[in-house]
């Protein structure tokens, strides 16, 4: 059962598990370990035999799972299919993504509770039924609540949200995953992950002046670009590390997601202890101190980092300047001193139409202290902000504390509006008024993403990202045409002044944080009988039916639904956007199936000829027609089929709509595994050129299924419309366990039976 925070007993169990596994691995490897390796290897499923090499898949046993309310819906529906009474690890649900920002915290929360009532009812009843902890709307943003309550050095966790690595600021190995991976861990299966390359980031010197932790990650994005972190973990070290607060470290780890990294993390230090103590988690701080050797890289690694890290990147904090990135990509970087020229060269609007500070990335007590001090400098001269400012606190703990300590009042006094403790404008949930869609304008945020439409749905909004201090400085000046840190400001009395970097800032409150437990719905002692609430007529939620088991016979006379040409990512198979509203309703969301896939016969996306009536129709209509007629189908794909996000719907929808197999030249590995989990056969042409044998209107036999075994092949027979036949041999990569999933109809069916 999940408690309101990580208990001492639980943390001790994690450290014991790590120590035992590491003893085995150290004996095998006989070399010093990085901190990342200590956590990763300390959580191996089979430490005695797992091959430990970057680029290989390894099976691990994470300690906990966090779900945000948008992705939680399908994850929990799948968990229910496994027939378990409780999850294998502690699970929390966080109601943060569905709250729209409009009129301010109070009215926005009431509206969200109404609009999303059925989703919240489902999530809360499921959490009571299965012993999950549930943080209700208004309690806070998933990553901030995790930091405050559950993260600790050495923890390994998964979250169904990209910015889960935020917990790396407290020394956790925290990865953002799709629902399928989260469900695996919830039902007691291991988490399979590509062993990452471990990059050491050496921080030298100290932050000073206006430079903030955010500028470190913006600098790294400038150097490495958005693709620079794929299959990499960024482990920070060096004398600069201790000069950054735990929440500053979290900001850096949070935005490691923009590099595409598996995760980012900092080693345990006194700043983490200070934060844990301030959150009322004294025992966690002490336990980490007692196990400090487990929670840092070995000294030999730090003495010779280039030998033990795959790569070492140096950042000199003494020389680092405040940065701004954007618009439309977080790696389009400039410095504050270069911003005016950047804006002029790009033709972006100079006027700052909105500034936003907060979100999961930058809403710490320290951040709020700094910007409240800047607001104080303004108010002292009788001035207000020139740009409207929205504040999105990361949690009720932060909001209530800055209310108690006066920062909130100082920000409101210069014109700030405080929104609900939720994602809001960070995830496009901003009901923006006063600007017609399509109007070009510039905004600045301390958030983490800035691709077009991310905040207000307007593709013409140019979003720039910077530290909270830099955002506020621009909100004070109102435009990007001058350096806000060096330009004089005219006070109400006609005198002039410059902003001064805030001094003597508290990174945590002297009186400790206001602990909010009102937002936590604790699991019931006897929750097992709780009824899970889903309205039968709901269009957003529906209980999943188990997929049927394999009939035991070869597949014969299947329809060809799709032959895709070129790129076919999970976004082509199951597009997001407006469809996300139906993510808890498999039948409704399946109306998007293959909407983006390019028909190899026509070059058109999303459409083909319906083999029953001869009409050109969207794939979802054709698949439904085949299903209604009792016919099953196959999809054929090109290379790297299913690349992109690990969205589980891209495997579930084809299965739900009657798909039995997907045949490709090659698969993206995660999607291939997701297909196996849903009971779909992923097959590849032994001869890639046999892809060309597939013709429009083919009927398909897949033979040899009764002898399916690891390493066996499957015979493909294509019956063409002209009466001719083509033959091909297909490979599969199913192991014995995965073959059992196929026979049972899905991995969850198999688990339920086991
Ligand atoms: Fe994601 Fe919410 Fe943060 S949308 S980026 S978790 S504020």
- Residue 328 Cβ inside 6 Å of ligand 1? The answer reads no
Cα 326 to middle of ligand 1, angstroms: 18
Of the pLDDT bands very low, low, confident and very high (cuts 50, 70, 90), residue 55 is confident
Look up residue 106 and give its two tokens: 């109070």
Residue 452 pLDDT class (50, 70, 90 cuts): confident
> 486-501 burial string, b = 16+ CB within 10 Å, else e?
eeebeeeeeeeeebee
Distance (Å) from CA 38 to ligand 1 centroid: 28
Of ligand 1's listed atoms, the one at least distance from the Cα of 361 is 3
| 302 band by pLDDT with thresholds 50, 70 and 90 | very high
Span of 2-11, 164-173, 184-193, 501-510 with lowest mean pLDDT: 2-11
Contact 686, 713 (CB under 8 A): yes
Q: What integer pLDDT is reported at residue 405 of this predicted model?
A: 98
CB of 420 within 6 A of ligand 1: the answer is no
- Read off φ and ψ for residue 316, nearest 5 degrees: -95, 105
CA of residue 162 to ligand 1 center, whole Å? 8
- Across residues 646-650, what is the average pLDDT? 87
Cα(519) to centroid of ligand 1, in Å? 18
pLDDT band at residue 362 under the 50/70/90 scheme: very high
CA dihedral 288, 292, 295, 296 (to 10 degrees): 150
Site to substitute for ligand 1 among 135, 138, 143, 421, most atoms within 8 A of C-beta: 143
Helices (H), 279-364: 282-290, 299-303, 305-308, 339-346
Rounded to the nearest 5 degrees, what angle is found at the Cα of 76, between the Cα atoms of 72 and 81? 155
- Residue 190: per-residue pLDDT: 95
Give the tens place of pLDDT for each residue, 575-592.
887 888 899 999 999 999
Query: What integer is the mean pLDDT of 240-248?
Result: 97
pLDDT for residue 752? 85
Mean residue pLDDT of the chain comes to: 95
Q: How far apart are CA 271 and CA 489, in angstroms?
A: 35
pLDDT number for residue 92: 97
- Looking at per-residue confidence, does 104 or 562 come out higher? 562
Q: Which residues are catalytic?
A: 96-97, 161, 449, 645, 647
Residue 69 Cβ inside 6 Å of ligand 1? The answer reads no
Q: Is 448 in the pocket of ligand 1 (CB under 6 A)?
A: yes
* Confidence at residue 702, expressed as pLDDT on a 0 to 100 scale: 98
The ligand 1 atom at the shortest distance from the C-alpha of residue 447 is: 5
Pocket test for ligand 1, best of 69, 95, 96 (most atoms within 8 A of CB): 96
Distance between CA atoms of 563 and 554, rounded to whole angstroms? 21
More confident residue, 688 or 645: 688
Residue 610, pLDDT above cutoff 80: yes
Any ligand 1 atom below 6 A from CB of 429: no
- pLDDT one-digit tens code per residue, 657-681: 999 999 999 998 889 999 999 999 9
| 359 C-alpha to ligand 1 centroid (Å) | 6
Q: Which atom from ligand 1 is nearest to the alpha carbon of 142?
A: 6
Cα-Cα-Cα-Cα torsion 375, 379, 382, 385, nearest 10 degrees, comes to: 30
Mean of the pLDDT values across residues 415-441?
Answer: 89
What confidence tier does 558 reach under pLDDT thresholds 50, 70, 90?
very high
Ligand 1 binding pocket mutation candidate from 250, 420, 426, 429 (most atoms within 8 A of CB): 426
Neighbours of 313 (CB within 10 A): 17
> Which tokens hold the place of 373?
């001090």
Residue 419: CB within 6 Å of ligand 1? no
Dist CA 7 CA 448 (whole Å): 31
pLDDT for res 345: 98
Banded pLDDT at 226 (limits 50, 70, 90): confident
CB-CB contact of 167 with 44 (8 Å) = no
CA of 254 to the centre of ligand 1 (A): 10
User: What's residue 742's pLDDT?
Assistant: 98
Among left, alpha and beta (phi > 0; psi -120 to 50; other), residue 204 is beta
Task: Say what the pLDDT of residue 94 is.
Answer: 97
User: How would residue 534 be classed by pLDDT, with cut points 50, 70 and 90?
Assistant: very high
> Tens digit of pLDDT for each residue in 704-728?
999 999 999 999 999 999 999 999 9
Assigned token pair, 165: 């690595």
Which residue owns the Cα nearest ligand 1 atom 2?
423
Which of 163, 430, 450 to mutate for ligand 1's pocket (most ligand atoms within 8 Å of CB)? 163
pLDDT of residue 105 exceeding 90: no
Distance (angstroms) between ligand 1 centre and the Cα of 379 equals 31
CA-closest residue to ligand 1 atom 3: 360
Report which ligand 1 atom has the smallest distance to the Cα of 162.
1
Please state, as a whole number, how many other Cβ atoms lie within 10 Å of the Cβ of residue 713.
15
Of all atoms in ligand 1, which is nearest to the CA of residue 143?
6
pLDDT at 107: 87
Whether the CB-CB separation of 415 and 379 falls below 8 Å is answered with no
Q: Please measure the distance between the N-terminal and C-terminal CA atoms of the chain and give it in whole angstroms.
A: 23
User: For the residues 293-317, what does the mean pLDDT come to?
Assistant: 98
pLDDT of residue 50: 96
CB-CB contact of 260 with 221 (8 Å): no
Q: Is 463 in the pocket of ligand 1 (CB under 6 A)?
A: no
**Whether pLDDT at 525 is above 90:** no
Structural domains in the chain, sorted by start? 8-316 (3.30.499.10), 336-478 (3.30.499.10), 555-753 (3.20.19.10)
Residue that wins the pLDDT comparison between 425 and 143: 143
Q: How high is the ipTM of this complex?
A: 0.96
Q: Is the CB of 141 under 6 A from ligand 1?
A: yes
CA of 424 to the centre of ligand 1 (A): 8
Q: 200-221, pLDDT tens digit by residue?
A: 999 999 999 999 999 999 999 9
Q: How many A from CA of 360 to the centre of ligand 1?
A: 6
């Amino acid at each position: 059962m999940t408690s309101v925070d990580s208990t001492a007993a639980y943390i001790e169990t994690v450290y014991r598990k790590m120590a035992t596994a590491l003893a085995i691995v150290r004996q095998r490897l006989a070399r010093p370990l990085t901190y990342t390796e200590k956590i990763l290897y300390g959580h191996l499923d089979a430490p005695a035999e797992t091959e430990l090499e970057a680029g290989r898949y390894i099976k691990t046993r994470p300690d906990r799972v966090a779900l945000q309310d948008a992705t939680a819906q399908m994850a929990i529906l799948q968990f229910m299919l496994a027939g378990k009474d409780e999850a294998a690890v502690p699970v929390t649900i966080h109601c943060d993504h569905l709250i729209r920002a409009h009129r301010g915290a109070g009215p926005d929360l009431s509206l969200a509770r109404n609009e999303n009532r059925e989703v919240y009812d489902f999530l809360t009843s499921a959490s009571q039924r299965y012993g999950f902890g549930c943080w209700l709307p208004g309690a806070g943003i998933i990553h901030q609540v995790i930091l405050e309550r559950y993260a600790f050095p050495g923890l390994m966790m998964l979250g169904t949200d990209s910015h889960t690595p935020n917990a790396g600021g407290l020394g956790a190995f925290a990865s953002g995953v799709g629902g399928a991976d989260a469900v695996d861990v919830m039902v007691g299966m291991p988490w399979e992950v590509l062993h990452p390359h471990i990059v050491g980031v050496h921080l030298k010197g100290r932050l000073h002046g206006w430079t903030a932790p955010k500028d470190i990650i913006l600098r790294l994005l400038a150097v490495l670009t958005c693709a620079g972190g794929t299959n990499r973990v960024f482990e920070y070290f060096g004398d600069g590390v201790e000069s950054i607060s735990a929440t500053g470290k979290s900001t850096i780890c949070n935005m490691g997601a923009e590099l595409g990294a598996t995760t980012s993390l900092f080693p345990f230090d006194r700043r983490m202890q200070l934060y844990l103590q301030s959150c009322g988690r004294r025992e966690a701080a002490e336990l980490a101190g007692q196990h400090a050797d487990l929670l840092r890289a070995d000294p030999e690694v730090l003495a010779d980092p280039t030998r033990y890290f795959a790569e070492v990147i140096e950042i000199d904090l003494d020389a680092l300047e405040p940065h701004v990135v954007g618009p439309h990509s977080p790696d389009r970087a400039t410095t504050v001193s270069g911003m005016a020229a950047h804006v002029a060269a790009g033709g972006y609007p100079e006027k700052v139409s909105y500034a936003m500070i907060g979100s999961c990335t930058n809403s710490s007590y320290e951040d709020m202290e700094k910007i409240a001090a800047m607001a104080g400098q303004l108010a002292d001269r009788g001035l207000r902000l020139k740009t409207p400012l929205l504040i999105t606190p990361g949690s009720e703990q932060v909001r209530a504390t800055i209310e108690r300590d006066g920062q909130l009042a100082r920000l409101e006094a210069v014109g700030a509006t405080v929104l609900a403790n939720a994602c809001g404008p960070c995830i496009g949930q901003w009901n923006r008024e006063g600007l017609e869609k399509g109007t070009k304008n510039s905004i600045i945020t301390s958030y983490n993403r800035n691709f077009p439409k991310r905040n207000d749905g307007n593709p013409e909004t140019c979003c720039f990202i910077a530290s909270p201090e830099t955002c506020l400085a621009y909100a004070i000046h109102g435009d990007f045409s001058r350096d806000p840190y060096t330009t004089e400001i005219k006070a109400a009395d006609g005198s002039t002044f410059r902003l001064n970097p805030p001094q003597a800032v508290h990174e945590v409150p002297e009186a400790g944080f206001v602990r909010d437990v009102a937002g936590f719905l604790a699991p019931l002692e006897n929750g097992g009988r709780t009824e899970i609430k889903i309205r039968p007529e709901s269009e957003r939620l529906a209980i999943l039916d188990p997929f049927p088991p394999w009939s035991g016979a070869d597949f014969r006379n299947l329809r060809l639904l799709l032959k895709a040409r070129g790129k076919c990512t999970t976004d082509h198979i199951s597009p997001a956007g407006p469809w996300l509203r139906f993510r808890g309703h498999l039948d409704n969301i399946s109306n998007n199936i293959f909407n983006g896939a390019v028909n190899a016969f026509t070059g058109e996306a999303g459409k083909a000829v319906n083999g029953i009536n001869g009409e050109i129709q969207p794939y979802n209509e054709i698949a439904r027609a085949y299903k209604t007629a009792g016919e099953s189908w196959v999809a054929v794909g090109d290379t790297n089929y299913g690349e992109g996000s690990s969205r589980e719907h891209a495997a579930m929808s084809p299965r739900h709509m009657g798909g039995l197999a997907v045949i490709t030249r090659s698969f993206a590995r995660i999607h291939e595994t997701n297909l196996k989990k849903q009971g779909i056969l992923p097959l590849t042409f032994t001869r890639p050129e046999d892809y060309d044998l597939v013709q429009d209107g083919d009927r398909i036999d897949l033979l040899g299924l009764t002898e399916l075994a690891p390493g066996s092949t499957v015979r493909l027979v294509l019956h063409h419309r002209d009466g001719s036949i083509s033959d091909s041999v297909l490979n599969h990569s199913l192991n014995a366990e995965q073959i059992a999933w196929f026979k049972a109809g899905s991995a969850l069916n198999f688990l339920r039976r086991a």
